[in-house]
Amino acid sequence: MPRRDTAFLFDLDGTLVDSVYQHVLAWKEALDREGVELSVWRIHRKIGMSGGLFANILLRETGLEINQDRLARLSQWHAEAFNRLHAQGSVRPLPGARELLDYLTAQDIPWAIATSGRMQTAAANLEALGVDPSKVPVVTRDQVRHAKPDPDLFLAAAARLGADIHQSLVIGDSVWDMLAAQRARALGVGVLSGGYGQAELQQSGAFRVYDDPADLLRHVDEVAARD
């Protein structure tokens, strides 16, 4: 019987790159420009969904009309604000992120990245991480019909690796990653580096929770057997 390899399917923002808080304040700026008053923590709690779904839900919860013009403006303003924060150099890989990916590569453990963001904002993050999307499987929002908490992004990432989703780990920082992992019948591994509480991740199905990629790398034997 062949050894069944565990594939690692990573979320990007808050999981490999320290970018969640910048996304939060970029959405706050976009919503303020649109005249939508929303507390910052409520924005934080929705981050990690796709931008479109996220904006839809926020508008629905605030009782505002959802139309394509408004969604397009919000998305554009968010991207402008985020890329401005990024250009200031405050967005960096999380501790251990590059080392974890290097370790998996060296061990011949398949891995891929699946992000709810579009390539428009993901490109700068991938560059900071030293990941070349022409060489590594990276699935973005542009490539699937439904984003998280639908499981499509992780299913597509497993398919790109030729891996069985039922043998895969989904590593993510948000409740939406953990819900998508459950819906895909993968196993969710949470990281605290997106700023959510440990219990929030466990309650949404995380099988194990680590501080950040460095902490996961130190404990990788707990979640994936090595030879």
Binding residues vs its own copies (CB under 8 A): 18, 20-22, 24-25, 28-29, 32, 37, 39-41, 44, 89-90, 92, 94-95, 192-200, 212
H or E stretch covering 187: strand 187-191
Q: Which is nearer to its own copies, 105 or 203 (CB)?
A: 203
Residue 168, H or E segment: strand 168-172
Q: Rounded to the nearest whole angstrom, what is the least distance from the CB of residue 9 to its own copies in the complex? A: 21
User: What is d(CA 209, CA 188) in angstroms, rounded to the nearest whole number?
Assistant: 9
In the complex with its own copies, the residue whose CB is nearer, 98 or 161, is 98
| Closest of 93, 92, 47, 95 to residue 216, by C-alpha | 95
Active-site residue among 5, 11, 173, 212? 11
Identity of the residue, 39 or 134, whose beta carbon is nearer to its own copies in the bound complex:
39
What sign has the CA pseudo-torsion 28, 139, 127, 124? negative
Could you tell me the smallest distance in angstroms from the CB atom of residue 17 to its own copies?
Answer: 11
Q: Which is nearer to its own copies, 105 or 198 (CB)?
A: 198
Q: How far is the CB of 203 from its own copies (least distance, A)?
A: 8
Give yes or no for a contact between 101 and 131, defined as CB atoms under 8 angstroms apart. Answer: yes
**Residue 171, Cα to own-chain centre: how many angstroms?**
8
13 is catalytic: yes
Considering the candidates 13, 18, 173, 177, report the single residue annotated as catalytic: 13
Give min distance, CB of 195 to its own copies, in A: 4
- Catalytic-residue membership of 211: no
Pairing, β 138-139 against β 168-172: unpaired
Instruction: Extract the tokens encoding 123.
Output: 């490109």
Residues acting as catalytic residues = 11, 13
